[in-house]
Amino acid sequence: VPLLIDLTVLVWLAMVLSGVSPTQPTGHALAEWGSNVSSRTLHGEPWRLVTSLFVHGGATHLLLNMFSLWLLGLMLEQRVGAWRLLAVYLASGVAASLATVWYHASGINSTGASGAIFGLYGFMLVLLLSKKIVLDKSDRRAMLGLVVYLVLSNLISGLNGNIDNIAHVGGLLMGLLVAGPLAVFTMKKEE
User: Among this protein's residues, is 28 annotated catalytic?
Assistant: no
> Of 35, 56, 61, 168, which one is the catalytic site residue?
168
- Angle in degrees, 0-180, between the axes of helices 165-186 and 114-129, rounded to the nearest 10: 40
51 CB contacts (<8 Å, ≥6 apart)?
A: 33, 34, 35
User: Among this protein's residues, is 168 annotated catalytic?
Assistant: yes
Q: How far apart are CA 10 and CA 22, in angstroms?
A: 13
Measured at the CA of 57, the angle between CA 68 and CA 177, to 5 degrees, comes to 45
| Burial tier of 51 (Cβ tally within 10 Å: 0-12, 13-18, 19+) | middle
CA atoms within 13 A on the CB side of 69: 29
122 CB contacts (<8 Å, ≥6 apart)?
A: 92, 171, 172, 173, 174, 175, 176, 177, 179
> Of 110, 114, 130, 157, which one is the catalytic site residue?
114
Instruction: Tell me the three state secondary structure of residue 109.
Output: strand
- Catalytic sites, residue numbers: 114, 168
